[in-house]
Amino acid sequence: MIQVFKPHIGFSDIISVLKTMMANNISGTSPVVKDFETKLANKFDREYAVAVSNGSVALDLAFQALGLEEGDEVIVPSFTIISCLSAIIRSNAKPVFCDVDHQSWNMTLENIKDKYTSNTKAILMVHTYGLPADAIKISEFCRENNITLVEDSAEAHGQSLGEINCGKFGLVSTLSFYANKHISTGEGGAILTDSEEIYLQLMQMRNLDFTPSERFNHNNLFWNYRLGGLQAALGISQINKIDKVIKSKKIQGRYYVELLQDHTDKIQLPLMENYGSQNHFWVFGIVLKKQNIRNKVMKSLQKKNIETRPFFWPLHLQNYLKNKPSRRNENLENSENLGKNGLYLPLGPHVNKKIQKKIVNELIESINKT
């Protein structure tokens, strides 16, 4: 089976983890976690980084730290991961879903303005599949309207707009270090901020709300969200080689585009760049132009030992919202088209040009037969 992804794990990663293990620095309170956080803050040009157990937790804690109230609205792209919706709802705020651009698959300022009201208190900006959103214009809009910007950079490690890193734009910005990310710790995440107040709050929240003065007397109820020392050691090693990983992904992505260039009557290809930033191809996504054949094509490829994954299912269509006020009879056309017809192809260190050719040939054959 040609897996849809494999992590970029090498000898240097193994050595980093072994050294940490032999030094008994395996817990979430070991010094290696702080070292990882320092390297993250430096890499993303932020004052503070708080490492946590996964990217969903990072979003959850980021929203908990904002102090949103019931009735406050948060604009979020419908085309994104369910963790974004969960974090907003758990913060007592109201999610307001906007559509995305049909080419970049990211939210735009125009999408945001369509949903903006006097109750809008925050915007959750997501950089989708390796391409940055229009972060400069969106952050300017937030400043002008006194709106808090939360930035989800889980899929944009190493990406930038001009000289500004993705992960630098939000009051709080979140990362995921899942096994398919450019920086991976297997599972893991982080919150980035320049606010000392928010940083101190997050440090307390991720650790059962322990306070320095009264360790076992708690003002609030939070879980243990800490990242372990072994994961942090892997993360440090991963940061050191992120440029190499991105370079490899770009080469693979461009080769897929080259192979598929003559089939754009059947397939929408990802943009090569957005707002002057080259696509990092966190994943290589495509959208089938013929409606309602995506699942059949995926099954056909599965039979030929090629694993693929569907795109995100739009948030506004989630079963969870069926009987809830957040569910509206909205027509978010681009998000729905992506959710119904999008999939991504195998990418990573296990995929060479020969394999890419095989995948593309089987893909086109499957489309033609469906």
In whole angstroms, give the CA distance from residue 286 to residue 342: 6
Domain boundaries, the chain: 11-240, 242-369
Looking at CATH, the fold of the domain delimited by 11-240 is given as Aspartate Aminotransferase; domain 2 (3.40.640)
CA dihedral 156, 160, 161, 164 (to 10 degrees): 120
Tokens of 337: 């088209």
Give the pLDDT score at 326: 60
User: In angstroms, what CA-CA distances link 62 with 96, 136, 172, 189, 288?
Assistant: 18, 21, 6, 11, 35
Q: What is the pLDDT along the chain (370 residues), one digit of tens a residue?
A: 999 999 999 999 999 999 999 999 999 999 999 999 999 999 999 999 999 999 999 999 999 999 999 999 999 999 999 999 999 999 999 999 999 999 999 999 999 999 999 999 999 999 999 899 999 999 999 999 999 999 999 999 999 999 999 999 999 999 999 999 999 999 999 999 999 999 999 999 999 888 877 778 888 888 999 999 999 999 999 999 999 999 999 999 999 999 999 999 999 999 999 999 999 999 999 999 999 999 999 999 999 999 999 999 999 999 999 877 665 667 899 999 999 999 999 999 999 999 999 999 999 999 999 9
Contacts 24+ apart (CB under 8 A), 95-100: 95/315, 95/326, 96/120, 97/314, 97/315, 97/316, 97/328, 97/330, 97/332, 97/335, 98/332, 99/332, 99/333, 99/334, 99/335, 100/128, 100/334, 100/335, 100/338
**DSSP conformational letter for 168:** S
Give residue 328's pLDDT. Answer: 61
Is residue 13 within 8 A of residue 186, CB to CB? The reply is no
3-state secondary structure 95-150: EEEECCCCCCCCCCHHHHHHHCCCCEEEEEEECCCCCCCCHHHHHHHHHHCCCEEE
Segment holding 213, helix H or strand E: none
The region, left, alpha or beta by phi > 0 then psi within -120 to 50, assigned to residue 92 is: left
Residue 17's nearest CA partner among 8, 5, 25, 28 is 25
DSSP conformation class of 45: T
Structure tokens, 137: 């214009």
* 3-state SS assignment for residue 76: strand
Question: Distance (Å, rounded) from C-alpha 56 to C-alpha 74?
Answer: 17
**CA distance readout (Å), 228 to 1, 6, 20, 21, 179:** 31, 22, 11, 11, 15
What homologous superfamily is domain 242-369 in, according to CATH?
A: Aspartate Aminotransferase, domain 1 (3.90.1150.10)
Whole-number Å distance between alpha carbons of 161 and 159:
7
User: Coil, strand or helix: which one is 49?
Assistant: strand
Q: Which amino acid is at 8?
A: H
Q: Determine the Cα–Cα distance for residues 29 and 331; give it in Å rounded to an integer.
A: 47
Distance CA 95, CA 77 (A): 10
Beta-carbon contacts of residue 175 (< 8 Å; ≥ 6 apart): 40, 44, 55, 58, 153, 154, 157, 167, 183, 189, 190, 191, 192
The three state secondary structure string of 276-307 is CEECCCCCEEEEECCCCCHHHHHHHHHHCCEC
| pLDDT the model gives residue 215 | 78
Q: Which helix (H) or strand (E) holds 199?
A: helix 196-205
